[in-house]
């Protein structure tokens, strides 16, 4: 905004408008001191109004920023709750998965023992001279396939 002097670069409420007047030289007795330019009441009112407008604009901006900060804080709080809930559910699922793995390992060991017992109790070579074989249970067969047995047991899957 322009000042009372018409300068477009300095605001009308700038500090130069409030500087004290320089000391006036005293003339001889009876002489009137030279005329000093006075600030008009309208100039002061305009400066005060400009300051009020600037304060009001900054107050509105501050209120807007406070509202946005509040909204962001609510969102962050909601996200923190969601992360905690997700972590809790993930922990429960990991625990359930670990329990399933332990249970399946126990069942696999049980099936392997049953197959070994069945293999030991089987009669010798049959009438054709063939050895009875148990597929999937022998250690050599397990190594040849490159890893752990995954027996296909029908109807034994836990629900």
pLDDT tens, 4-25? 444 445 555 555 555 556 666 6
Cα→Cα distances 130→121, 126, 144, Å = 16, 6, 22
What ranges in the chain are assigned the alpha helix state H?
A: 41-120, 139-144
Q: How confident is the model at residue 36 (pLDDT cuts 50, 70, 90)?
A: low
**What local confidence, expressed as pLDDT, does residue 153 receive?**
47
pLDDT class of 3 with cuts at 50, 70, 90: very low
**Mean of pLDDT values over 44-54:** 97
In whole angstroms, give the CA distance from residue 75 to residue 78: 5
| pLDDT for 123 | 57
Residue whose tokens read 């972590």: 87
The count of other CB atoms within 10 Å of the CB of residue 137 is 18
pTM above 0.75, yes or no: no
pLDDT, mean of residues 118-132: 62
**pLDDT of 79 over the 70 cut:** yes
Per-residue pLDDT band at 140 (split at 50, 70, 90): low
Distances in whole angstroms, Cα of residue 65 to Cα of each of 55, 61, 75, 77, 123? 15, 6, 15, 18, 87
- How much of the chain exceeds pLDDT 70, in percent? 52
State the chain's mean pLDDT as an integer. 76
């Amino acid at each position: 905004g322009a000042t009372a002097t018409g300068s477009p670069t300095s605001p009308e409420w700038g500090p130069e408008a409030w500087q004290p007047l320089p000391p006036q030289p005293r003339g001889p007795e009876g002489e009137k001191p030279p005329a000093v330019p006075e600030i008009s009441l309208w100039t002061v009112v305009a400066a005060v109004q400009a300051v009020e407008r600037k304060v009001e604009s900054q107050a509105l901006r501050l209120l807007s920023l406070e509202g946005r900060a509040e909204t962001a804080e609510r969102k962050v709080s909601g996200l923190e709750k969601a992360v905690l809930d997700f972590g809790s559910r993930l922990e429960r699922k990991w625990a359930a998965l670990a329990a399933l793995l332990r249970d399946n390992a126990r069942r696999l060991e049980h099936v392997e023992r049953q197959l070994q017992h069945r293999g030991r109790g089987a009669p010798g070579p049959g009438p054709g001279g063939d050895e009875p074989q148990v597929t999937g249970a022998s250690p050599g067969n397990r190594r040849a396939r490159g890893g752990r047995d995954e027996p296909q047991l029908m109807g034994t899957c836990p629900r």
